[in-house]
Structure 1
């Protein structure tokens, strides 16, 4: 409580820590990408709303941690695109591991070229660009929403 005005709460602390926002964006994009990929792999589908959600969540938590810094918006957009790309690689890995009846860990460790080849053949198309754009737009909106005071 404020000493001069006991009925007013203390002001909210400043959230202009772009480094903390960047760290949040990286962590959320990585975890979100894996979750997006496992879910998509189990159902054998890319989910456009998943890309938007991953981007928005990445941006929102980055904005909550680091404020509405325009550079943080750009970084969150880039990290969310990376998260969607990671998710698509995980989708390819999950599908291949099921088809080849090997563990997901073994798929990543021993057959990474197959994962990349599957992504190149099955996922790299006009929708990939759309999903990347949706994730980036979601991230920018998320930073603005999360960083708003």
Structure 2
């Protein structure tokens, strides 16, 4: 007698469910002791190094996100020191006073009278030139005032010498250089209030010229 043929056993299904089409590992349980089991696999790289990063929200600042640079330049430069040269300023005052005295004397001697504006011009010119060259220093202003006083006085003596030389019919140099003491004596006799006033106008104008040049 022949025994009946047993039908072939159907393939065993994987534990826990049906197999996925074409994936022999689908449905497998994670092995115990594996801390990474069940985690999703990262996606395939796309070639963009910035993929997955969220852009920051706009803030309206075009320089947002930039690293601040180092403070450059250091400390601001110190202000320049006030210019000043006392010696040069005094020499300028002296030279200007001599020239101004001669001009003042020639003008006053030519018209045979003293001019107040000329005395003011002498002082202003001395103070302005000295402060312009030497700087706005108190010592230069004081020197300008002293030299202006001397310039006006010398100019008056020059004018007096011109008048005397013209009256005596001699040369100016003879009266001024050979009889200088006599010229001073005549100046003392002929001087009045206006003469001393003109002497004071020179130093006052010198301070004004020095302030104008500062």
> Higher mean Cα deviation, 101-110 or 74-83?
101-110
Which secondary structure does the structure 2 equivalent of 1:45 belong to? coil
- Distance in 2 (alpha carbons) for counterparts of 1:53 and 1:88: 14
- TM-score with structure 2 setting the length: 0.60
- TM-score with structure 1 setting the length: 0.85
Runs of at least 4 residues off by over 6 Å: none
Q: Which runs of 5+ in 1 are unaligned?
A: 1-11
- Distance in 1 (alpha carbons) for counterparts of 2:131 and 2:150: 18
- Distance in 1 (alpha carbons) for counterparts of 2:81 and 2:92: 18
Structure 2 partner of 1:97: 165
- Distance in 1 (alpha carbons) for counterparts of 2:99 and 2:81: 27
- Higher helix fraction: Structure 1 or Structure 2? 1
RMSD of the TM alignment (CA)?
Answer: 1.6
Aligned residues: 135
Structure 2 partner of 1:61: 129
Structure 2 partner of 1:44: 112
Which of the pair has the greater relative contact order for Cα pairs under 8 Å at 6+ separation? Answer: 1
- Distance in 1 (alpha carbons) for counterparts of 2:166 and 2:83: 44
Q: Which runs of 5+ in 2 are unaligned?
A: 1-79
Offset of residue 126 of structure 1: 1.6
Offset of residue 112 of structure 1: 1.5
Structure 1 partner of 2:193: 126
Residues 130-141 of structure 1 correspond to what in structure 2 (within 5 A)?
130-141=197-208
Q: Which residue, out of 79, 85, 90, partners 1:22?
A: 90
- Distance in 2 (alpha carbons) for counterparts of 1:96 and 1:136: 27
Between structure 1 and structure 2, the one with the greater Rg is: 2
Structure 2 partner of 1:78: 146
